Amino acid sequence: MALVYSTDQGRLCPQCLRPKTDCSCKKNSSSTKTGDGIVRIQRQVQGRGGKTVCVISGIPLPEAGLKDLAKQLKQQCGCGGSVKDGTIEIQGDFRDKLKAALEKAGFTVKLAGG
């Protein structure tokens, strides 16, 4: 079993066993995430103080591209949001607007969850 957490260094990378902040394998790997090519839009409420958030995952773009796309989507919806761990979070329930905008940008989009 591999060590995943150390009290003096924090989270460790499972490949190189270095602290996540000093991980060398994440810098060498491709910056785009591989997946099935489908962008998923999910509405979440739990753990957010009753506030609704649309989480967009599966976008095959590097971090800079995700930030640019998130900025465009936030402007179209007229709301706030952020980019976290390769996903875009948009405040509010704008699934239909987001789906139309992402399909117009050339992505295959599915509404996930309930």
DSSP 32-43: SPP-SSEEEEEE
| CATH superfamily assigned to domain 32-112 | SUI1-like domain (3.30.780.10)
Q: Are 42 and 57 in contact (CB under 8 A)?
A: yes
For Cα atoms 67, 71, 73, give the angle at the middle one, nearest 5 degrees. Answer: 115
- Locate the domains of the chain by residue range: 1-30, 32-112
Is the per-residue pLDDT at 3 higher than 60?
A: no
- Average pLDDT (108-112) is 91
pLDDT at 10: 67
Summarize pLDDT for 24-70 with one digit per residue, the tens: 675 544 444 456 788 999 999 888 888 999 999 998 888 888 999 99
pLDDT digits (tens, 9 = 90+) for 68-98: 999 999 999 999 999 998 899 999 999 999 9
Residue 103 vs residues 16, 96, 97: alpha-carbon distances, Å = 38, 11, 10
CB 82 within 8 A of CB 55: no
pLDDT of 2 higher than 50: yes
Please say if the pLDDT value at position 106 is more than 70: yes
Q: How far apart are the first and last CA of the chain?
A: 37
